[in-house]
Amino acid sequence: MPGVSTSAWDRSLPLRERKKLRTRRALADAALRLFTENGFGSTTLEEVAEEAEVSKSTFFRFFPAKEAAAIEAETELWTAYLSALAERELSGAVLGELHQTLAEAVAGLGSGWDERFIATRRLIAGEPALLAYVEHYRTGVERQVIDCLAGKLGLEPEDLRLQVLAELATTAFSVSGRHWVRHGGRGGRKALLERLDGAVRAIPASLDLSARPLLRRAGVGVGLAELGFADGLEVGDAGGVRDGAVEADAPPAAVELEGREHVVEPGTAGDPPPQPRLGHPGQPGHPGTGHPAGPGRGQLLPAPEALRQRVVDR
């Protein structure tokens, strides 16, 4: 593990507090090292204290349990976030304020945080007990964010908007942090912050995301993909296809299928499944070619039993 790193916030503390912080981080580093090497469940508190050259009672002055020592890198981040939010004067969209506060907290962490955070997240991924502990811890962080926002905005803590905003900010970091850790921290802190920016920008875009229009018949909705239209299959304008939707009672629609024109005729409930057709010479799916039929190669996949489309050579 890297040595103890300091941030601008650390250096602003009185000497006595800086000494306490160094002891805390020495314990956390020892815990993370032993948990990684020997396993979380196989490592005792006594072994952690001995590794850090302190007593067991000293350990409990800093951490309530060994789970807390294991996730110290997480704690550093969210403690910095809560402290910055408490001091921040909010102006403008609250989600943007939470984003900027979190980004500044991440940017202000010590240089050794990156490696410790990556090691921590990898440890958590293999330990269900630690995963549950982190989830509980983050819920507490969100509760504090809600209380802070309620006080600053003059709203009740039970206001659903505050709860959603608090969780959105946490989730945005979770999504970006997961990607960053999965790639070994490639690109450093800058890459993590860029990913966080992208995650926050994706929130309103996600709310506007809508599904493809559905085929509706007898109260049942089925998407084009479920009807077997593979990627790359273009449906000509024959009155039966409008804005990506297929109308069950519309006239047959012309279909361009790998250079051959076909007709798509509405089927009826109870029709037997169509038999697979081999392609013509030179087409995907024909025995004489090396291109099997499949999605993206003009294949019509089987449709649901109650709603089918029969493809008939014109």
Rounded CA-CA distance 32/21 in Å is 16
Stated as kind and residue range, the H or E segment containing 244 is: none
Q: What is the pLDDT of residue 111?
A: 87
3-state secondary structure (DSSP) of residue 134: helix
The residue ranges of the chain whose pLDDT is under 50 are 1-6, 8-9, 224-227, 229-250, 252-271, 273, 276-314
pLDDT tens, residue by residue, 138-186: 999 999 999 999 999 999 999 999 999 999 999 999 999 999 999 999 9
Is the CB of residue 197 less than 8 Å from the CB of residue 104? Answer: no
Q: What is the pLDDT of residue 227?
A: 46
Q: What is the pLDDT of residue 213?
A: 76
Q: What is the DSSP letter of 64?
A: S
Q: Which tokens is 145 given? A: 């964010």
CA angle 287, 293, 294 (to 5 degrees): 160
Q: Which tokens is 227 given? A: 């009807």
Q: Which tokens is 4 given? A: 């103890």
Task: Give the strand pairing for 260-266 and 309-313.
Answer: antiparallel
Phi, psi of 142 (to 5 degrees): -60, -40
- Burial class of residue 159 in the structure, from the number of CB atoms within 10 Å of its CB (0-12 exposed, 13-18 middle, 19+ buried): middle
The CB density around residue 92, as the number of other CB atoms within 10 Å, is 8
